[in-house]
A and B are shown apart, each in its own frame.
Chain A
């Protein structure tokens, strides 16, 4: 390694690595700081809003909940009942049975007294055709329910069918097994209705993890902290991402992602941009980026709102196999979206979107695992050549570790000060414990999945949807 050119390259590499780490840390701190400001403001604004006051109004705008279902026979009846129990008045529930091969449709027909109806679809977005058609209930208690049985076309295709079918002004796109709190729609619609100085095009909600929680009659009854480390790690990760990350992005009006599990959209704009993209596995992120790009190109003042209240609870993977395939898919979704919209990146025409959000996502979400991986490889090479100053390495690793723990603790404290969902005695110590363990129990798998995702994206194009087999919630 005496060659001065190689020496210089290595030097440069070191510097880049330091700059990257430094700016990553700095950006986390800045985001955390902004999110604290935004959280305080949000709490002040909404602490005394009585959502019941708007709940019964029929002058409130119409919302369609669109929930695609593929082979969900196990829980579909329960899930639909939960969706029908929302307190908002002016809404309907559109379940898209996306070519399921199981008996989902038969079960729904039987339980909800469904009959086939004639329905004129305004096919504004092309989709796979209907299979058995469209069903509604003969029982007036279920008049809000519309079941659409279509040929399989994937999640994006099913959501597009829902967009075509809906007659509402707003659409809430969700995963069918999501547990929505009863006042979730009132809370989500609020930013659309109260903002007068700009157009709100979409609102994203927080996703909370329902593993180990007790659900009764389609309602969240008791919040529990799960036992498995993999589940605990994800809870911490979600708290960090939603309370510290997205909250700050919402303040900067730079939010790029609305979780596919729960988002509310202005239907007209969603359709205008062409609905969900069927060719990506990251259709939720891609749609938001496309809607934003459209608004920027039209030079319209707009906003993507974000609601930090815990409104949507969903089951997270409880084993590493499914966890890895989920993260693998997320990685590919991010790469696809960023690639598809690369004209936005670093383009001042797109303002915050092009100059802040896109670069951040590119470097700290898209590239972070790759850079980390290269770093580890390099470290390995140095070990082989016995070039390591172990004491230096030791100091830097400890520093990185402590920063991670520090950041997790800030997230936990924010959670306690705002929503305080894990109230039970004894959970505190387990929250602390996972803050220290998470870098070892979940992070290596996330890194592995991200690298696999990169590999699959470039070299394994045939890779299909990671099937997400979900474990049922604790039914009491």
Chain B
């Protein structure tokens, strides 16, 4: 398992994170799950993952702040994919401004997510 690529997933819906963890681990990735922005930042600092998946609307520290922390405080170029609900175009634009790599709108398709993750990590 030493070679498994690490992914931090920030998502406050426990069902969705369980499902995605299951799906991505099946593909051979190693997953770290956070349910709020603060924990996300801690996990990123601890594990230095190859990819970050984050929801935009999260309690306490929003996805936007996570992106800004990674890019500006930690100065990392780790790819970041953000999830957002439909109709939040403005926030998505802000996320790209702050340095997000890609975005997927909710409801999201797990299969599509796996494809994108593979592409980003290949």
Contact = CB atoms under 8 A, between A and B. Distances in A.
Answer yes or no: A and B touching, Cβ < 8 Å.
yes
Contacts of B60: 216-217, 219, 221
Contacts of A141: 94
B88 A56 contact: yes
A214 B88 CA distance: 29
B87 A57 contact: yes
A55 to B, nearest CB: 8
Contacts of B87: 56-57
A56 B94 contact: no
A217 B65 CA distance: 12
B104 interface: no
Interface on chain B toward A: helix, strand, loop, or mixed SS?
Answer: loop
A211 to B, nearest CB: 22
B35 to A, nearest CB: 15
Interface in A204-229: 216-217, 219, 221
Interface residues of A, number: 9
B68 to A, nearest CB: 10
A219 to B, nearest CB: 7
Interface in B61-79: 61
Interface string B78-95: 000000011110000010
A81 to B, nearest CB: 12
A57 to B, nearest CB: 7
A141 B59 CA distance: 18
Contacts of B88: 56
Nearest to B57: A87
A58 to B, nearest CB: 9
A221 to B, nearest CB: 8
A57 B85 CA distance: 12
A217 B88 CA distance: 22
A56 B88 CA distance: 7
A141 B94 CA distance: 8
Nearest to A55: B87
A56 B87 CA distance: 6
A221 B87 CA distance: 27
Nearest to A221: B60
Interface in A175-219: 216-217, 219
A52 B85 CA distance: 10
Interface in A54-71: 56-57
A57 B88 CA distance: 9
Contacts of B85: 52, 56
In the complex, which of the residues B85, B86, B87, B88 has the most CB atoms of chain A within 10 Å of its own CB atom?
B87
Contacts of A217: 60-61
Contacts of A219: 59-60
In the complex, which of the residues A217, A219, A221 has the most CB atoms of chain B within 10 Å of its own CB atom?
A217
Interface in A40-99: 52, 56-57
A141 B60 CA distance: 17
Contacts of B94: 140-141
Nearest to B94: A141
A303 B104 CA distance: 44
A416 B39 CA distance: 33
A221 B61 CA distance: 13
A140 B59 CA distance: 22
A233 to B, nearest CB: 32
Contacts of A56: 85-88
A219 B60 CA distance: 8
A322 to B, nearest CB: 32
Contacts of A57: 87
Q: Which 4 A-B pairs have the closest CB atoms?
A: A56-B87, A217-B60, A56-B88, A216-B60
14 contacts: A52-B85, A56-B85, A56-B86, A56-B87, A56-B88, A57-B87, A140-B94, A141-B94, A216-B60, A217-B60, A217-B61, A219-B59, A219-B60, A221-B60
Interface of B: 59-61, 85-88, 94
Given A56-B85, A217-B61, 7 more contacts: A52-B85, A56-B87, A56-B88, A57-B87, A140-B94, A217-B60, A221-B60
